[in-house]
Amino acid sequence: MPDIDPGSTYRGLPLTAEQDAEVRHYIKKKKQHGESWDSPELAAMLKDMLEPPSENDEELDVLIDETKAAAERAAASIDEFMEPIEASEERTAAMESEKMKKPES
C-alpha cells in the first residue's frame, strides 16, 4: 500500500487514494444536486473506511456462505412435481441432514 499523506486527503484523514477519491466524488455529486454533502451517509462511509473489518464479520460471512450452500443442496433434492407441503417437509429434512453432517465447532 502506498504511503498515505494525511495533508492531502479529505480533512487530513488517513485514507487511501481510492478512498479519498470516493469521498471527493460523493461530495461533488451532492453539491451538483444541491444537496447537503455533510450528511450521516458521509459519516458512515468514512467510519467504514477507517475501521477495518472485524474477525467476527469474516466468520459470519463464512457461516452465511455455508448455510447458503447447504440450502442449495437441500433445494436440489426436491422434486419439482412434489406437492408444496411435501416439498417443504423434504427441504426441512434435507437441511437437518446437512446440519448433522457438519460437526458443531
pLDDT digits (tens, 9 = 90+) for 57-89: 677 777 788 878 877 777 776 666 667 777 778
**pLDDT confidence bin for 15, thresholds 50/70/90:** confident
Global pTM exceeds 0.85 = no
* Angle of helix 55-76 versus helix 84-101 axis, rounded to 10: 130
75-104: average pLDDT = 74
Residue 55 CA to residue 61 CA, distance in Å, equals: 10
